[in-house]
Structure 1
């Protein structure tokens, strides 16, 4: 199995990532990698990601932007 990410702008247009990912052997490895470098991806122009397993979409799009903190 090969777990891969697709990087997109908010409108769904595919963009090249600021940090080139590898093909991951587990979903956990793919998600850990994303958790470590998501800020760099946002700075490089990505707004959201989709996760694939051997070409099958597992989930997404998932925003890379932190949600605004709710004010009471």
Structure 2
């Protein structure tokens, strides 16, 4: 039995894949979402505009915008 893999892919403001950072690999969705919730400000500060959660390499949810603007 294989362990599920959850990762994040990141996009810049232009919608193109961001060069960095590289997402850790998580074994469940909760841990992946918690990680993003704790670090989104740092990611946004490094130029990441959105994050997409992947499950086994496939999008699991719509993109999450990383902005503190309302």
Q: Which runs of 5+ in 2 are unaligned?
A: none
Largest Rg, 1 or 2: 1
TM-score, scaled relative to structure 1: 0.83
TM-score, scaled relative to structure 2: 0.85
Secondary structure, aligned partner of 2:36: helix
Which structure dedicates a bigger proportion of its chain to strand? 1
Residue 27 of structure 1, aligned match among 22, 26, 29 = 29
Q: Which runs of 5+ in 1 are unaligned?
A: none
Inter-partner Cα distance in structure 1 for 2:50 and 2:15:
8
State the Cα RMSD in Å. Answer: 1.2
CA-CA distance at 1:59 after TM superposition: 1.3
